Structure 1
Amino acid sequence: MAENGKKLHIAVFPWLAFGHMIPYLELSKLIARKGHTVSFISTPRNIDRLPKLPPNLSQFLKFVKLPMPHVEKLPENAEATIDVPFEQVKYLKLAQDGLEESMAKFLEDSAPDFIFFDFTSYWVPSVASKFNIPTAYFSIFIAAFLGFAGPVPGLNNDYEIRKTPEEYTVPPKWVSFETTVAWKLFEVSRIFEASMEGDEENIADITRFYKSVENCDFFLVRSCSEFEPEWLKVIQDIHRKPVFPVGQLPTTTYEDETTKINAWREIKFWLDKQEKGRVIYVAFGSEAKPSQNELTELSLGLELSGLPFFWVLRTKRGESDDELICLPEGFEERTKGRGIVCTSWAPQLKILSHDSIGGFLTHSGWSSVVEAIQFEKPLVLLTFLADQGINARLLEEKKMAYSIPRNDRDGSFTRDSVAESVSMVLVKEEGEIYRKKVKEVKYLFCDKKRQDNYVKNLLSYLQNYKKTRT
């Protein structure tokens, strides 16, 4: 049952990307465990694809399906970023904007005490205010990313809007401490148009973010104060709103007899035959897709390293993705037995938990980072999109990960740098610092008691907030 005080009803509404939905679900589960009611809102197909819930939570955690509105140019059945190529993601945002009316109806009928929303649905506070429901912008991005994104221009401050990609390659003026946290030119150039400028069809991501920040009542951040205290202070200072770190939300899984384990059985059989700590696990999340050139260098680099590898490779994003990428000719024959390329779903947590995995080559998406730390696997980074560059800089700064060297302007890298980076982090003496560091930070990221305290602290604030308003 709910601790200290009246039970709450909290609605949550993440962006239509699994990298956002899963942390929202993890926080929902932690709240539901304390006996509060959570309404998890998304579209039907996304809800059907979410991991199973433990039976003891089903009375507290309810899934609410809002039908996906039709948007021209958005492929049929596309309800998440995993279903579409990068250039069609903007139509997904427009479709989510089309949920405003059904969201208003849900809020009116269900009258939750609070709603937590994501930056894409910046319109939630204005809808919720009609029903006197307080809102929290829950950021799955870490505090360093929010601090780097900065204050709302012109709102009680004289900070200018950064107008060129180059301005995003240095730490901003409002950050008073020494840091290397900034994008590389190639990282910001890849997203500049969609994220910073927008177009006549769609509102820019930065505008959605600023409106979310300006109009919410308080902030929830996927972070912990022991990990990035200085960045949490930056957010508090620039937005002048209550900021709550909610912990790192490590992924938890629940399985029953009906869970498909055939895929894992085969993978485990192969991993069991490998030497302990020698296999590099390679996966870039549900959205990142390498270009053909990146794929070629990456493949040949893994081959060159001589290390065994297990690679989960996305060759296309959704049915409408017609830009197919292919592995170099003869690559699979040459690495047969030593490496596996899996182009379907793979159980990431199970793979990472296996003893033969010695490191994780990843895009630096925060859920993957937390999962690597959960299982003490050192990180090799290769960034592609969104917040990944900022995450990578913070991890490098804290000596928690090593990035494959690249050209700052165009992002190109070589097979040699892939081979050297992987070998260094997994087996060489100079990589010891990364292998050691990942063990040290595990208690910070994955301690159940610490995570529980963050949630308790948040719920106690929400209960008091509700009391003072009634």
Structure 2
Amino acid sequence: METQVSRFSILMFPWLAHGHIFPFLELAKAILHRKNLHIYLCSTSINFDSINKHALHGSIELVEIHLEPSQDLPPDHLTTKNLPPSLMPSLLKAFQTSYTSFSDIISTLKPDLVLYDYFQPWSAKIAASQGIPAVHFSIYGATAYSLVHHKQTFGEAEVPFPGIKFEGHKLQEICDVLASLCSIIHDLDDQDFLFGNIKQSCDLVLMKTSRGVEGKYIDYLSTLSGKKIVPVGPLITHTTQNNQEQSYIIEWLSKKSQHSTVFISFGSEYFLSKSEIEEIAKGLELCNANFIWIIRFPLGATVSLDEVLPEGFLERAGERGLVVTGWAPQADILGHQNLGCFVSHCGWSSCMESMYFGVAVVAMPMKIDQPMNARMLVEAGSCVEVSRSEDGVFKGEDIGEAIRKVVEEEGGEELRRRARGLSERLKREEGQVMDEAAEQLWQLCLKKQTTRC
């Protein structure tokens, strides 16, 4: 049992992406509501301003990790936010040079537990060498993990989930991409490109998910990996600041009718090409839905909306559409009653937010885990996936047809009903799963007092 004098410290070490940092931050806040802890959050200093905007708890302390200098990456590029895609491998490679800095941090802080992310399984080895237990926290879902683990373990054997249909070569393509990324990771065996993290994890693995939406995939991953998979819920980041610059978006949405508006966003790390933007614009012109469309450009890009949007698109859209560059309050938008669907790349955080707020999804998955996440939502009945043409691209006609199915046709109400069901499951379990996760971590800290992991 927790005592009055017991206070442990946990060092959290996420990858340098906001989509990874903020789930760690939300996990930290949730644990601190339940246990007497001090939490260190480790990242590059360029990320500190963004983290501080999310109302840091007094028991969360930021710790700077140092990467060796790189000619390819100026200091303002030591984050994935707005990073040009061509520099992503360079950042991942540079991140591996933080090995020594992280070892020094461990030696100085002497935490009772380390929580580490996907791209640094070596951090678990460093912790273990100093007698500190380390637990992998996955910000990805159990569906993607279990499908790729199945592929790596059983090759061409059929996946035991008939609701998730993937041609063998498609799943192999995803595995190949992951293997290519992980070939950069320091001290990682070629055969452990995905599961080195799970193998290094002490006793259990935390996962940003819920049994109510991924129960069978959690169980299958646990069987394949031999580890206890502990879900921590959706970890939604709610807007805490009154951002006047973006308040007009919600004001605009509030003037529309219920379920009439489409929200289009592809996350903070995927930048649409000009041709992709043109096809989405065509799709929006082929349907009658209102829309909020977030378009982002890489850091340093000098491209304007007029250069990438079809000529006259904004004028033709008029009051029906709002195109935004930069940040937008995604959680507030998804939680608004006037939203009809979410056109998404199906990054896992976006999937969890769509389920949490009960929003139907039009899926346009782009890379890595996103196709598997999209299929999980289709299986759950809350999603329509846009079909690809023979040359593998999304066409405006198909995008428009998918939006009409969800927003304008009668079947859309059934999709929204199923989406609301997923929301109820997530919210019903939210507190319970976090209670269990916090207790599991607390017990690991207690265990450290008497033995090494």
> Same fold judged by TM-score > 0.5?
yes
Which ranges of structure 1 fall in alignment gaps of 5 or more residues?
A: 154-158, 163-171
Query: 2: CA distance between counterparts of 1:355 and 1:192?
Result: 38
1:107-146 correspondence to structure 2 within 5 Å = 107-146=106-145
Q: Call closer, same or farther: CA 1:292–1:458 in 2, change over 3 Å.
A: same
1:180 matched to 2:181? The reply is no
- Asked if the contact 1:175/1:234 (under 8 Å) is kept, the reply is no
SS at match of 1:310: strand
Tell me which amino acid in the other structure corresponds to 2:365: T
Q: Call closer, same or farther: CA 1:350–1:252 in 2, change over 3 Å.
A: closer
Tell me which amino acid in the other structure corresponds to 1:178: P
SS at match of 1:149: helix
- 2:195 aligned to which of 198, 205, 210: 210
Tell me which amino acid in the other structure corresponds to 2:24: Y
1:60-459 correspondence to structure 2 within 5 Å = 60-150=59-149, 159=153, 173=157, 175-180=159-164, 182=166, 189=173, 194-197=177-180, 207-217=192-202, 218-255=204-241, 259-264=242-247, 266-314=248-296, 316-319=297-300, 326-407=308-389, 410-447=391-428, 448-459=430-441
SS at match of 2:76: coil
Query: 2: CA distance between counterparts of 1:391 and 1:19?
Result: 15
Q: Call closer, same or farther: CA 1:336–1:187 in 2, change over 3 Å.
A: farther
Query: 1: CA distance between counterparts of 2:311 and 2:98?
Result: 46
- Asked if the contact 1:152/1:210 (under 8 Å) is kept, the reply is no
Q: Which residue matches 1:166?
A: none
Cα shift at 1:269:
3.0
Query: 2: CA distance between counterparts of 1:79 and 1:181?
Result: 38
Cα shift at 1:146:
1.1
Using the size of structure 2 for normalisation, the TM-score is: 0.89
SS at match of 1:453: helix
Cα shift at 1:2:
6.2
Q: Call closer, same or farther: CA 1:221–1:192 in 2, change over 3 Å.
A: closer
- Asked if the contact 1:392/1:403 (under 8 Å) is kept, the reply is yes
Tell me which amino acid in the other structure corresponds to 2:195: Y
Deviates further, 138-147 or 413-422: 413-422
Query: 1: CA distance between counterparts of 2:376 and 2:183?
Result: 34
Tell me which amino acid in the other structure corresponds to 1:26: E
Deviates further, 361-370 or 266-275: 266-275
Cα shift at 1:174:
7.9
Query: 2: CA distance between counterparts of 1:227 and 1:430?
Result: 22
Q: Which residue matches 1:165?
A: none
- Residues paired across the two proteins, number: 446
- Asked if the contact 2:137/2:206 (under 8 Å) is kept, the reply is yes
Q: Call closer, same or farther: CA 1:452–1:193 in 2, change over 3 Å.
A: closer
Q: Which residue matches 2:27?
A: 27
Cα shift at 1:290:
2.2
Tell me which amino acid in the other structure corresponds to 1:84: L
Q: Which residue matches 1:36?
A: 37
Cα shift at 1:335:
0.8
- Asked if the contact 1:187/1:384 (under 8 Å) is kept, the reply is no
Query: 1: CA distance between counterparts of 2:304 and 2:158?
Result: 41
Using the size of structure 1 for normalisation, the TM-score is: 0.86
Cα shift at 1:330:
1.3
- Asked if the contact 2:113/2:445 (under 8 Å) is kept, the reply is no
Deviates further, 216-225 or 116-125: 216-225
Query: 2: CA distance between counterparts of 1:398 and 1:13?
Result: 32
- Asked if the contact 1:75/1:320 (under 8 Å) is kept, the reply is no
- Asked if the contact 1:282/1:311 (under 8 Å) is kept, the reply is yes
Query: 1: CA distance between counterparts of 2:165 and 2:283?
Result: 27
SS at match of 2:342: strand
CA deviation profile, 1:7-58 (whole Å, cap 9, x unmatched): 3211111111111111111111111222311111101011221253446x21
Query: 1: CA distance between counterparts of 2:182 and 2:217?
Result: 31
- Asked if the contact 2:207/2:231 (under 8 Å) is kept, the reply is yes
Query: 1: CA distance between counterparts of 2:69 and 2:230?
Result: 36
Tell me which amino acid in the other structure corresponds to 1:144: T
Q: Call closer, same or farther: CA 1:250–1:3 in 2, change over 3 Å.
A: farther
- Asked if the contact 2:279/2:396 (under 8 Å) is kept, the reply is yes
Query: 2: CA distance between counterparts of 1:354 and 1:135?
Result: 39
Query: 1: CA distance between counterparts of 2:353 and 2:422?
Result: 12
Q: Call closer, same or farther: CA 1:238–1:373 in 2, change over 3 Å.
A: closer
Which ranges of structure 2 fall in alignment gaps of 5 or more residues?
A: none
Deviates further, 452-461 or 140-149: 452-461
- Asked if the contact 2:206/2:437 (under 8 Å) is kept, the reply is no
Cα shift at 1:214:
2.5
Q: Call closer, same or farther: CA 1:48–1:3 in 2, change over 3 Å.
A: farther
Q: Call closer, same or farther: CA 1:461–1:179 in 2, change over 3 Å.
A: farther
Query: 2: CA distance between counterparts of 1:320 and 1:183?
Result: 37
Query: 1: CA distance between counterparts of 2:42 and 2:436?
Result: 23
Question: RMSD across aligned C-alpha pairs, in angstroms?
Answer: 3.0
- Asked if the contact 2:178/2:194 (under 8 Å) is kept, the reply is no
Query: 2: CA distance between counterparts of 1:222 and 1:399?
Result: 21
Query: 1: CA distance between counterparts of 2:273 and 2:191?
Result: 25
SS at match of 1:82: coil
Q: Call closer, same or farther: CA 1:465–1:229 in 2, change over 3 Å.
A: farther
Tell me which amino acid in the other structure corresponds to 1:87: S
Share of identical aligned residues, percent? 27
- Asked if the contact 2:136/2:206 (under 8 Å) is kept, the reply is yes
Query: 2: CA distance between counterparts of 1:459 and 1:392?
Result: 31
Cα shift at 1:320:
6.5
- Asked if the contact 1:236/1:243 (under 8 Å) is kept, the reply is yes
